[in-house]
Structure 1
């Protein structure tokens, strides 16, 4: 969980309702223990004795029931172990199992002075299949790939699914580089054979990065990181191939790869902060809402705000963490600000990793209820790019609308707008992309296109928000065109929650 120096984290590292839940869970075992101590405690033996007394005409019933109870306990224990250590989709060992096994293998190799190999691989072309044929087809493809991986490795080798289309293979007691090459070649050959998924021919391939203990690292973290870096080089060497880390270590690692690693570290260290950009009513000039975003002060990305590193975030394992944190932060501060202005609203970006969770409506219902916020008081932002790339998002948006949530389509203009798909959605806001606006408004013809887009939205009762507004003249021009709201440096750059709250309390029309 990201920890920040903000009111969200002052009282606890968890949100208030989570803290209450944890507190109740902490207290419950103690109460139970006290109760059990008073009445002598529970045991299967006592239950058997009570049943034996009740069914005194059957001398062996307690043994039968005891065996049934033990069988149920054993079955439940196995089920809990399976859920904790195996991937529900492919039934392969999961990330937790892999991490534990790798740690044990490192210790064993240290003690016995043996060697082993780690193969890190992902699927070339998987995203296209997932987006084109849908998530069900993607899941079926992953199950087929898992079976082929198992058939390609040796008996005793461990194949794990880390998540998404990422897999790892542990080759224990391997000193022969040619043996590792042979396994890698079999994996590439098997995975790259055509598939028949939902009556469609599907072709993908795989690339592999390889690290070896102790040559490429003496800790589990080093081995995984180096295999990942070798995978990156492999994918950019033509794909459908493999690379050993020791052979590519001197090659230049992608700046993007380095940035992704820095992003992981920033999330873990709490170096990402929540900031708010005021949203202005172009008619009254007053603040009517705020758009929350994340700010990462990383010199190499230039602009520090979320939109400029969202693609990296979506490709990383930190997407859900940031997405859930932004949602909680937006709801928390909205709860505080509505004490001063009950009409204020907050727009919250919904990151891909967040909306892709199962039963998003239930999750949001619980979060909103815990803060006392109504669905109609928040704008949930989804980008045009996500809508274009993920067919499943249409169903999610319709489910949210049915549940009473307000939907904003953001970054309009940055990606192609499919009007046929928009006709199937119920949108409340369109947020025009800043860069697109600046370039389009530079010509008279471009201005006519913006005007036409705004008028189309207005005819559908959809509010249009202009972003990146830098001057009063621009604000007036957008107002004449029919934009209802705007945000940008003309009023304020994104500010922290404390400064925005001060402005709301003072009921100023703009931030000084």
Structure 2
């Protein structure tokens, strides 16, 4: 580009203008300062420096690139600018001349107070030094350190500014990189632990006074160590980068996500306390992170567990909130991994209960507390039982029957699942050998068992010891055995099929690897997971279409299909219309003991007439838990007997009229407005105004928790709230009216 260069005449004009001012005034500009300093420092014997010599020295300084000069008139318009700066701005001086000096620089952002001072200091006609300013209108980011001093005419009138500048771009970029290293994770680009800690503390401090909610999620990757061990740390690093990208896609804002270190991540969500929305996000995160990854040509699958805590309900400080989110994460991992869990005040006790159960479980086999129940697998057309699935049960001497959903994850974590699985296989074969006819028995095989090279020998031993025909044994294997491409998996399938047994793919559709393996894995049956069955009869549900596609796929591959979890007659009708070959669920029978099975099959085939509710209803969780029921200004202690998303059965209040309204207090700020729809003496069936949501661990919770301030204003007792945070809330006074209802205890007393 052909530049119009500010010539020596222009510089001389500036020099002469400076020379016309008194020496004190000349010191206000850089030329004046140079002239005054040269006169004061020059020995008497040295020759006098000419104006031309001074201008040449300044020209050499500009040409060296070490600095540049600028000058304005009294209105702040440019009348001189070094050629090097014109080149960087991409505009000739004749185009810049007359423009306001401030237009050379980018307008400051709201948080850049230092840049905002430039127009202010120019307006005040005061000197300034080393002001960091960013160039405007350039493709590259350019920063300058700019200094300037006002100069005046001989009459003392303000004449403009003269100043200098130096390029500080490298220093600014280095400072920005250092700042990024101090606040961001170098591997993933997410916030680091230090930056997230500061952000959380500042947020909680501000929100406490404003009475606003803040949620955090702690995420821990499942099976990440396996990737590091098998593929190496570079592959692990590449995987973490992909995990970060998926988290950003789900959350939508990278500034809300941090990598705490290793395979742990944290998310902060300001102004969010809706546990329905939080649960949905946690579920999306788990599903997203569980999709297969491609790392340097290798395919691998990991999982994720999520713990959630919400301020102010679950903690008032960052330390308390993180501790409680960590407890929730531990509970999620302990519940079987690949799930989320909200913090609740009973988690500490639950952790202790889990430890005790683990100790008891170690002796349960030897003490004869473990037994097998069998759930019928029924031909969907004929209603005739064709086989049974063996389900492991634990009859605890003190706590009674322990749910498999509770003790199976404990067994997996405590490395007891192998022994339990081997026992179940031998026991199922032994008992099935005594069944009449050719009914099959299906036994679940955990991924840990499947990975054991001794599994075929164990199966062969169980068949030989029991005398059961191999064709009557069916092993149910989940998609998790396909975590990584492996020749060992193919060899295991080959060895098992060589024994003559049947193989079923369990929980089909809940993983991400089945379709590719169905072409080669020798399965005889696909089991359709109950998550597709539930909700399939609801309007606008797509589950029916998914089930139909699974059936078509199975038929094309010559496989049978079994639908799990059928509980209502409308579900059964749908399954039959979609040509599913076999059905398993309460609509036919709950799991039964072997003695009951033998009794029912004594006459030959066991044909079961389906029975159950006409339409699908919400799942009900049976329990025995003390909660509160509030009517007007009275608080009743009641017992929760069962719970669903839409209602509950409570016990403890006598003869309540239909239509009576109660506020059900589940604790921890969980309140549900309800109406009595059934009244049976001391038991009341209530329907919720707003449906409950999943707590991520097979339980239910309210979507939102009520602010303690609102609870206090409503006259509700504060004893169930966390102490120490709501200092301005006092325990409410006694009710002013008489109770509307008597309690069951009072009724029994009379």
Higher-Rg structure is: 2
Q: Going by fraction, where is strand more abundant, 1 or 2?
A: 2
Point out which structure has higher relative CO (alpha carbons under 8 A, 6+ apart): 1
